[in-house]
Amino acid sequence: MTTLILGGGITGLLTAWHMQQRGEPAEVWEAAEEPGGWVQTLPWPMTDGWPGRFEKGPQGILVSPGSVADKLFRILDLDLHSLGKGARWVGKGGRLVPVPAHPIGLITSSLMTWRTKLRMFLEPFQSVGPEEPEEGLSDFIARRAGRGMAEELLPPMVAGILAAPPELLSVDAIPKLRQWESYGSMFNGIRKSGISHLMVPEGGMGALPKRLVERIPMVRRGLKAFGLERLPNGRWKVHGQGHSAEADRVILALPAFEAAELLGPVAQGSAEALKAIPYTSVKLWNSRHDPLPPYDDGFGFLIHPSEGKPYLGSLVPSWIDKGCAPKGVMQLRSFIGDSALWGDPRPEEPKDWAWTERNLRHWVPALAAPSQTLEVISINAIPRAEKGHRGRVCQAVEGLPQGLDWISNARFGPGVRDVIEGIEEWLRT
Ligand SMILES: Cc1cc2nc3c(=O)[nH]c(=O)nc-3n(C[C@H](O)[C@H](O)[C@H](O)COP(=O)(O)OP(=O)(O)OC[C@H]3O[C@@H](n4cnc5c(N)ncnc54)[C@H](O)[C@@H]3O)c2cc1C
């Protein structure tokens, strides 16, 4: 049986690696010259030539000891580094409020009202909700941990992960939530599945696709698939730029909108369902500054969306990954959301560095002027699992003809960890 995998992002590469491990090698076609999709660590040298870097997509991966992701990195001989939980803040009421490192610290924190805190501590005593009908993300959190939690803490957290407002989203936007609830309560689920920390392999996140490519025999770079044809013998022919190939099975490891393009002529129902999955675009400003305690020694800060509109917060990559900038330099990565999603009062205003710096200084007035800045515009970067997502995914998958599959973070969950776990489970079934 011959298999072609279209898309050499982390989903396609990992699938090819697993198949190779099972003795069923597959060929991967990747449209770009460099495989990895969003998971790439790119060079950003300092002005004096020091070889700095920045992440195109994920800043790290959430890993708990003994988890599927932990085991994968070990098998691939990739050392993961973590500095632990790290200080973090939420911007609310015009100032940055520290997020306590431990739930007990929440008792004295000014992050939430007393009412919200009391309700949150009742989470373990709430009954488990039915699987159907699919709940909204805010409704799920309100049911489990109270309306206050859903309005005070959830929006900045979700904005920091998905760059979208939680009230638009399905609970399936963060699949871990339902998994944790299946243990009786989220509190129990988090405790039993082990506390995760954001980790980064040596060399940055791009080390993961690089290592996978080293271990997969056949990855064709710069080869974009543009047509699928069903042959009379039931096999599939894939047409690419200047090359075509036949296979018994074709796995589309592509974002929903790219897969929809290919599926249109051969699986219209699936294509319609995939086309209906929206994606969110973000702008990222990377900047380098003199260190500013305490922020240089922490994970970063997320801004409550009601005050950011659409500045969503900043991470501190120089704390997360020591290789991105030399000692004595604080590297920031600031997220600007899509104006249309966040009620931006001045959408016509360009979100240039001057705008970003003004917003940063509103929260961190003592921040030094940058020595370097770098703008990255990420179009259709993050799948938006809006309410009804589960039905769209089911319709897409169930409508596929024999010999075709679609896998993606839009199916398994938004993060690299979700993709790693999702692929393992998908390959088991
Ligand atoms: C800004 C940003 C920050 C993120 N931060 C985090 C984080 O901190 N932690 C975390 O866990 N996750 C994070 N993520 C999510 C993570 O990056 C994704 O879950 C993951 O990269 C998705 O991988 P994928 O292979 O499914 O898709 P993609 O990375 O989109 O890969 C799809 C690949 O298919 C190729 N392709 C497209 N069309 C064709 C075609 N017709 N023929 C052949 N090839 C084609 C593309 O070139 C691409 O390489 C972040 C994402 C972004 C964008």
Give 17-42 as a DSSP string. HHHHHTT--EEEE-SSSSSBTT--EE
Residue 139 and residue 117 share a domain:
yes
The CA distance from 137 to 166, in Å, is 6
CA 42 to chain centre: 18
Residue 368 and residue 398 share a domain:
no
Mutate to test the pocket of ligand 1, among 4, 17, 38, 274 (most ligand atoms within 8 A of CB): 38
- 200, part of any domain: no
Residue 324 and residue 416 share a domain:
no
Phi-psi region of 107 (alpha: psi -120 to 50; beta: other; left: phi over 0): alpha
Burial class (CB in 10 A: 0-12, 13-18, 19+), 230: middle
Residue 285 and residue 213 share a domain:
no
- Residue where one domain finishes, among candidates 152, 170, 193: 193
The helix or strand, by DSSP H or E, that contains position 308, with its residue range, turns out to be helix 305-308
User: Which backbone phi and psi does 78 adopt, to 5 degrees?
Assistant: -110, 120
- 25, part of any domain: yes
Give the model confidence (pLDDT) of 166-204 as tens digits: 999 999 999 999 999 999 999 999 999 888 889 999 999
Residue 249 and residue 321 share a domain:
no
Residue 8 in contact with ligand 1 by CB distance below 6 A: yes
CATH number at residue 135: 1.10.3110.10
424 contact partners, CB below 8 Å, separation of at least 6: 18, 68
Residue 9 in contact with ligand 1 by CB distance below 6 A: yes
Residue 375 and residue 336 share a domain:
yes
Residue 135 in contact with ligand 1 by CB distance below 6 A: no
User: Which backbone phi and psi does 168 adopt, to 5 degrees?
Assistant: -80, -20
DSSP for 236-277, please give it.
EEEEETTEEEEESEEEE-S-HHHHHHHHTTT-HHHHHHHHTS
Q: With bands split at pLDDT 50, 70 and 90, how would you rate the model's confidence at 106?
A: confident
Residue 30 and residue 53 share a domain:
no
Cis amide linkage into residue 294, ω under 30° from 0: yes
Residue 11 in contact with ligand 1 by CB distance below 6 A: yes
Q: For 169, which DSSP code? A: B
Mean pLDDT of 88-109: 88
Residue 40 in contact with ligand 1 by CB distance below 6 A: no
Mean pLDDT of 11-16: 98
Residue 334 and residue 303 share a domain:
yes
Nearest partner of 32 among 216, 246, 217, 225, judged by Cα: 225
Give the model confidence (pLDDT) of 327-363 as tens digits: 999 999 999 999 999 999 999 999 999 999 999 999 9
Residue 241 and residue 163 share a domain:
no
Kindly give the distance from the C-alpha atom of residue 221 to the centroid of ligand 1, in angstroms, as a whole number: 16
196 contact partners, CB below 8 Å, separation of at least 6: 62, 63, 64, 67, 417
Q: Which atom of ligand 1 is nearest to the CA of 226?
A: 41
- 76, part of any domain: yes
Kindly give the distance from the C-alpha atom of residue 399 to the centroid of ligand 1, in angstroms, as a whole number: 24
Residue 31 in contact with ligand 1 by CB distance below 6 A: yes
Could you tell me the residue range of the domain that residue 118 belongs to? 112-193
- Residue where one domain finishes, among candidates 135, 161, 193: 193
Residue 240 in contact with ligand 1 by CB distance below 6 A: no
Which residue has the CA at smallest separation from atom 25 of ligand 1? 9
The CA distance from 271 to 260, in Å, is 4
Instruction: Output the average pLDDT for the chain.
Output: 96
* 3-state helix, strand and coil shares in percent for the chain, rounded to the nearest 5: 35, 25, 40
pTM of the model: 0.97
Give the model confidence (pLDDT) of 199-253 as tens digits: 999 999 999 999 999 999 899 999 999 999 999 999 999 999 899 999 999 999 9
Give the model confidence (pLDDT) of 138-170 as tens digits: 999 999 999 999 999 999 999 999 999 999 999
Q: State yes or no: pLDDT of 83 exceeds 90.
A: no
- 19, part of any domain: yes
Kindly give the distance from the C-alpha atom of residue 301 to the centroid of ligand 1, in angstroms, as a whole number: 24
Kindly give the distance from the C-alpha atom of residue 75 to the centroid of ligand 1, in angstroms, as a whole number: 22
Residue 153 and residue 60 share a domain:
no
Residue 27 in contact with ligand 1 by CB distance below 6 A: no
Nearest partner of 60 among 71, 73, 47, judged by Cα: 73
- 106, part of any domain: no
Residue 182 and residue 137 share a domain:
yes
Residue 312 in contact with ligand 1 by CB distance below 6 A: no
Residue 59 in contact with ligand 1 by CB distance below 6 A: yes
Residue 258 and residue 174 share a domain:
no
Are 260 and 271 in contact, with CB atoms under 8 Å apart?
Answer: yes
CATH number at residue 230: 3.50.50.60
Burial class (CB in 10 A: 0-12, 13-18, 19+), 192: exposed
What total number of domains does the chain contain? 3
Are 336 and 285 in contact, with CB atoms under 8 Å apart?
Answer: yes
Would strands 311-315 and 298-303 be described as parallel, antiparallel, or unpaired? antiparallel
